[in-house]
Structure 1
Amino acid sequence: MVSGSGCDESSGPRLMPALLIKMINKSRGKILGVLALFLVMVWYSIYREDSFYFPVQENKTVCPIGEVERKAAQLIGNYTRDRPLFLQLKDYFWVRTPSLYELPYGIKGSEDVLLRLLSVTSYSLPESIQSLKCRRCVVVGNGHRLRNSSMGDTINTYDVVIRLNNAPVHGYEQDVGSKTTMRLFYPESAHFDPQAENNPNTLLVLVPFKPVDFQWMEAILSDRKRVRKGFWKQPPLIWDANPEQVRILNPYYMEVTAAKLLSLPMKQPRKVKQKPTTGLLAITLALHFCDLVHIAGFGYPDSANKKQTIHYYEQITLKSMAASEHNISHEAVAIKRMLELGLVKNLTYF
């Protein structure tokens, strides 16, 4: 029987593929557009995730010139950028400047050995830093918070990377970066091989706490008989460093850190002596020559957490700080005040 439509019923299924292909051809542009939009959304979500955790690049183009000085003046009385970062021979040879305090807050009583030491070291900032219109600085602490942080690439983007003591870089680059512009240390915290954990042009900045620190450095650089007494831990007897890269930190910055940030007296009873940590000192230093100051790897575990390690590179716990001359709770308050003022920015939780 022939249907009323005059068409063979079996022709319907054969027409379906052809119609489907025709519809796809008409919608090809729309499908490609949706696919492209989907890929853009995936890329953007990944970018947002990365930038959410490490929003450092936003400061690359905008430099807050004068902002650090303005905010630092609210925290540090008589704040000035006129003081040199490092000691230089002309200040103690041609013009004898009397110092009110002994080390670590002044050089009183250590002038002679200091003169000899300054004759073989330098004092200038590298031209690559001196000429910057905007000095973007990060102070990298040694805290456990840096472990598995993946902050290395972010840290490497800063113009000036300041590190502390003997904290290693090799083997930890993914978390702490590989760039070191300046390393602050004292004899007991000096890495036995400074070339292993620093860049060839890294400034090695001696933080003098006591007269014997000058004597140790002079003996090392002049290859004289090593000084062995007067240290709480034996410093390196061989320390292969280029004297041109060595700097002597101006004790003025230790004085500012102690007196202005921690309200410590400059003259303390022999049994009480408290001193700032190298970390807080490094932040103070950065506040006096940088246009932007960020910090990473600062903060200690809660005092009740006896088993939490305090450094990203070793297993010692807060118990090791019990006999130190540092008041870490007091320092935490000082850093939190800086964060509240927007004077510094924290890249890792504090």
Structure 2
Amino acid sequence: MLRHFSESRWYTIVLITLIYALMSWSLLSAAGEQALISQVEFVYWLAVTASTVGYGDLSPVTTAGKVIVALFVIPVGLSIFAMVIGRIAAWVSDQWKKGLTGMKTLHINNHILVIGWNEKKTMLLLDLLLKERADLAVKPDIVLCVKADINNPLPGQIEFIHVESFNNDNDMDRACVADAGVILIDNPSDDVTLTTALYCTKRNPDAHQVAYFSDDSLVSLLQTHCPNVECTPSVAVEMLAKSVFDPGSSMLHHDLISVDAGQAQFSVALPEDCDTLTVGQLFINMKKHYDAIFIGFAPGGVYKNMVVNPDSAVTVSANDTIFYIASARMTDIDWQKLGS
């Protein structure tokens, strides 16, 4: 019976409720229950009676009215109430299951879309993204989109979408790929990463895209067709070589990219109303007022033109992105102080 109630359509429940209310009103009217059949009192009394609340301020006074309430209004009302509760419970359970298995459709924008599943590597990535997001004033949603047969690894913390293909419009629309603010692609196969990056560029050319490749040869191929995609090749070999001649380099780089503890690398764009600043001013005043170290900048936010450790006389203007090292992300920056 409860299973039947839970599977009832909403229009069926509404229709049954209307018929029940009409029959109840007609029977009470025929029984002479004038105090119960006025519009406001009837709706109020029927609601509290059917939901078993029963405040007792209104009740039938005639013998016929009491029989009607005992044999029809209360039993049928309880059944409809159980039907509504069962339907709501079924809907909540269905939504929870869809969210866990990645089968629901999202309605979000400016989110961080992570495409691909690499088990522990992806879990570490998600953990770092959540920690980075915690310091932001505006916290974008994080969506994990996978083809692997898994459930949401972090329910309640991230959104999750399961797809059959990373280049299927219907599947990727459920992840709101066209409305994402950032798209991060990291698949076990570089070929899948390449085709996914091409597809995402077509669907959302304005998003900031980051793609990870194990094979450096595919980086130039992707950037030929999608020059705005930020490609991140593996630097494991370079780190090994650097640590041989400069011991501790691997620890230094790990500390700079990890937000767990110690110093980390961050970036911020100069606002539109910011005066032109010299690198010398930034270097001195960032250390003086924010205990941060200026390390470079990207003119106009174009990362391919990034300048690391520029000359002190070089100027930085509005919309340029500066990079710095600090223990935490700088907030509420007083740009006038940095130019003094």
TM-score, normalised to structure 1, is 0.29
Higher strand content, 1 or 2: 2
Q: 1 or 2, which has the higher helix percentage?
A: 2
Which of the pair has the greater relative contact order for Cα pairs under 8 Å at 6+ separation?
1
